[in-house]
Structures are given as C-alpha cells and as structure tokens.
Amino acid sequence: MEKLVEVSEPEIGIDFALGCKCRATVNLRSLSAAYPIAFKVQTSSPHKFLVNPPSGLISPLSSTSFQVILKPQPQIPPTFPRSPSDRFLVRTAIASELELKLNSSSESTRSEIVNSWFKSIGHRSTHDIKLKVVFVGPFLLRHAVSNGDCDSVRNIIKRHRSIFTEFSTREAESLFRVAKQLPNNNKDMVNILIEGGLKVDACTEPNDVKWVSKGWTALHIAVANDRREEIERLLRVNGGCRWLDSRDKEGRTPLHLAASKGLLGSGKALIGAGAQVDARSKDGRTALFRAAANGDCEMAKMLVEMGADPTLTELHLRRSALDIARAKGHGVVVKILERGEAVLHAARHGDVQLLETLLEKGATTNFRDQYGVAALHMAAIKGKKDAVMILAEFGADLECQDIQGHTPLQMAVEGGCAHTVEVLLNRGANVNVKNNKGITPLSVSKFLGYEDITQLLVDEGAVLSEIPSNSPSPVS
C-alpha cells in the first residue's frame, strides 16, 4: 500500500537524563491531497513510555505531531544510543468517514473514537511505520566522554547534530578538559568532539590537537567550529582562496565539513567564494551526498540550487545522494533532489536547455502539482513541442492522468497545437483515451473547431464520444 504520511525522522531521539521525564516530539505530514488520515501510535514498552496524543486525524496535506514521554529511569540505558528493544508503531489509514464524527466530539473522546475505528478495520487497510528509539543528549554525551567510549560519542553526535548548541562556554571547556585527561585515547576523543562541533578556544592550539595528523588547513578548522568571522577573514586575505578546495587526509574539503555538520551559513560562504560544489572525497562522496545522508533539507536545497549533482555516486556501493536519501527514508530530501517543481517550471516555459540539464542530472519526470498535472501535461497544453519530445525521450508517462483524468494528448488537443499532438501520436499515445467524463480527444477537437488536429486524430483511428448532458463542454 502506498505510504500515507511522512515522518520527520526515522528514529525517535530521546534527550535522556536520570530520574526525570524525558520527551521527544515526532512530526507527521499527510501525503494525501484528498482524504484525512487517521493515525494511532503503539509502543513495545508501555511500561516505559507514554504517548500524547496516542491517536488522531490529519487533514489533507497538513501536519500534526505527537509527543513521546519516557518515564523517569533510575539507570542509564545499557545500550545507548540505540535501544534494541524499544520500538514504536505508527498505524495510518484513510479515514474520510471519521472527520464529521471528530468535529462534533469533545477533545476527551476523540482518541477513543479513533482507537475504536482502528479496531474495527483491523490491519486490512493500514500502512504501518516502524520507528526505533535512540537515547541522546548532553547527559549521555558527558557519560560517554568520561568513560572514553569513542563509538558512543560518535553515534550521539551523529544522531543529535545540534547537541553542542546546548552547551555553555564553561560546559564546553569542561567537556574538553575531560577528553584531554583520558589516559590512552584522548587525542581521538578530542578530535571527535571538535570535528563534531564542540567550540572552545583551546581547540585550535596545535599542542592540544594534532590537526596536522588530520590534514586540516586553517579553513577546515574554522569551518569545523562554525567560526563565521574567521572563515570570512581567511577568504579575504591574500591567498585565502587556495584553501577553498584543500583536502584533508580523507579527501574532504571545507565544504564537506560544512555539509556534514549542517552549517548552512558556512556552506553558502564557501560556495560564494568559489568552492567546488561537486568536489568528491576519497570515498567518492560529495557535500550533497553527506547532506542527503543526514536528512538535512535546508543544506540539500541550498546545494542543489548552487548546481550540485544528485546523481554522482560514491565509490564502493555506487549510491548517489538520491539513492541514500531514499534508502534512509528522508522523503523531503528526496523531493528536493528529484527537482520535480523545477522540471514542471521548465516544461511550462519551454526552457529546453534547462529541462534537458535537469533530466540528465536525474531529475524526475513524475512530479505532480496539487491538480495532478505533470511536466508532460504542462508542456503539451502550452504547445511546447520540443519540451514534450525531451520529456518523452527521458521516459515520461504518455498516459499519465491529472485529477480530472486528462492525459498529455488531451491537454495538447485542448491547447490547439497540432505539432505537439502529432509528436504524442507518433510516440504511441492512446488516441481514444477518455477523461473522467468519458470524453475522447476527438470530441474536444471537434468542439473547439481544430480542423487540422481533428484530421490528425481521425487518421489515427480516433472516435467521438458522447458528451454527458450534465457537462457544459468537453474541455476542462
């Protein structure tokens, strides 16, 4: 069954602290343009978690949220950041019949109504989303640093990318001192924290951290710490631009670091100064690949707007930025990388050069607007013959229908461009296709008095349809 809602994150990140309630908010966005979607949240550990609200209704193309509350825990989770046993199941289903019932009911009875409704339908019409639980936050990070647990520190930072914004200057310096005092792996731990975004003045002292061993330039260090004034100063000074695409020992440029950490302002500054947007590290990954893997919508959008190519693949698994976003369930990023709206705009205006560039870089031809109109519909009704040819060559569906059942051929007929009609017919478009009112292209052509198009259709075996009595005309 097609997915009905999109979840903001593939995991539920709990900001953990001992002996108190801990909360996480999960956002749900409806993907249905026509029907309300009911949801119900279930947990594998009801003795540990509460959900508020546990169920509800989402209006078409709207968003809502629910809160996960961890009851006070006397001990640190033994397997943080991941929990192998705690799971959440979000059941969703189309529920047009519930809307009136819920509108006339009180807040206290709405969840009961939705719960009863889900029991009545069982699992026959639901789409279920499984969410794992991860435990993150400053408390667990401090614990992991104190124990010298580099793997846990890496995982917490990866899953809680903004964690260091919650540290005051004094707290950051305290954490840094703890890492420096570890007996064996202090350099590793310090590097993990600094690369992860910990900001303390001592971090750039060469005797404290062996930046040389990482191959970082001054610009790498400034970007890693999101020091915007320092970045701008380095880019202004003589020779500063020579560091723009400098590589560390993993082949990463400063832009790679900015993308990995979600530092949008630093990323814009680097690209504005001339950094290569599609530079690849030793593993073949671009800055866009790293943003897509993190589910960073804003960074992905900025990089795409700056010309980043979502089809470039890494070396080992040959995955592109688009592939990794799909694999990790980052739906919003997928839509950004598919650039459907840009294709629709180019098709509408007949911008053949832009359209071809987008499609060659993997942009989708299947994007639809709120009326179900795809790029091929738009090019056809606007009479953009060359755009229609390019879209067809890149595999656009000739028989795709908008919400009124119109195919591109019907749109081309209505638009009155015989050359566009001829292109679609030569490509094999169904000449006798009917829209939702049962009307064929020939009926539209004769109604509008397009003699040349009528002859083209008749030559291909077109037939007239009976126009319904309740239809004022066969055109949309």
CATH of residue 53: 2.60.40.10
Place of tokens 């004022």: 472
Q: Are 218 and 315 in a shared domain? A: yes
- Tell me the pLDDT tens digit for each residue of 343-381: 999 999 999 999 998 888 888 888 888 788 999 999 999
Bridging pattern class, strands 82-94 and 5-7: unpaired
pLDDT at 107 over 80: no
pLDDT band for position 125 (50/70/90)? Answer: confident
User: What is 159-172 written as a DSSP string?
Assistant: H-TTGGGG--HHHH
Domain assignment present for 349:
no
Q: Are 425 and 448 in a shared domain? A: yes
Nearest 5°: CA angle at 312, between 310 and 316?
Answer: 130
3 state DSSP class of 303: helix
Which distant-in-sequence residues (6+ apart) come within 8 Å of 409 by Cβ?
A: 380, 398, 421, 424, 425, 429, 430, 431, 433, 441
How far CA 288 is from CA of 162, 242, 309, 368, in Å, comes to 19, 22, 8, 24
Mean pLDDT of 254-281: 93
Q: What is the pLDDT of residue 207?
A: 45
Mean pLDDT of 174-194: 79
Mean pLDDT of 74-100: 86
pLDDT at 176 over 90: no
pLDDT band for position 465 (50/70/90)? Answer: confident
How far CA 135 is from CA of 158, 178, 460, in Å, comes to 12, 21, 64
Domain assignment present for 287:
yes
Q: Are 120 and 147 in a shared domain? A: no
pLDDT at 26 over 60: yes
Mean pLDDT of 146-169: 87
Q: What is the pLDDT of residue 71?
A: 94
Domain assignment present for 378:
yes
Q: Are 316 and 422 in a shared domain? A: no
**Euclidean distance between CA atoms 257 and 274, whole angstroms:** 16
Q: What is the pLDDT of residue 197?
A: 81
Mean pLDDT of 80-95: 89
pLDDT band for position 105 (50/70/90)? Answer: low
Structure-block tokens of residue 384? 């953009």
Q: What is the pLDDT of residue 467?
A: 59
Nearest 5°: CA angle at 94, between 93 and 100?
Answer: 120
Q: Are 454 and 440 in a shared domain? A: yes
CATH of the domain at 253: 1.25.40.20
User: For 251, how many CA atoms within 13 A lie in the half-sphere containing its CB?
Assistant: 12
Q: Are 223 and 171 in a shared domain? A: no
Domain count, the chain: 4
Domain assignment present for 270:
yes
**Euclidean distance between CA atoms 12 and 151, whole angstroms:** 20
Q: What letter would DSSP give residue 246?
A: -
Smallest CA-to-CA distance from 288 within 273, 306, 266 is with 306
Domain assignment present for 362:
no
Q: Are 236 and 322 in a shared domain? A: yes
Q: Are 92 and 145 in a shared domain? A: no
Q: What is the pLDDT of residue 238?
A: 46
Domain assignment present for 449:
yes
Domain assignment present for 385:
yes
Domain assignment present for 394:
yes
Pick the residue with more confidence: 209 or 10? 10
Mean pLDDT of 449-475: 79
Pick the residue with more confidence: 69 or 115? 69
The last residue of one of the domains, among 86, 104, 135, is 135
- Tell me the pLDDT tens digit for each residue of 31-66: 888 888 999 999 999 999 999 999 988 988 899 999
Smallest CA-to-CA distance from 157 within 183, 185, 196 is with 196
Range of the domain at 390: 370-460
**Euclidean distance between CA atoms 410 and 396, whole angstroms:** 16
Q: Are 144 and 37 in a shared domain? A: no
Are 230 and 262 in contact by the 8 Å Cβ rule? The answer is no
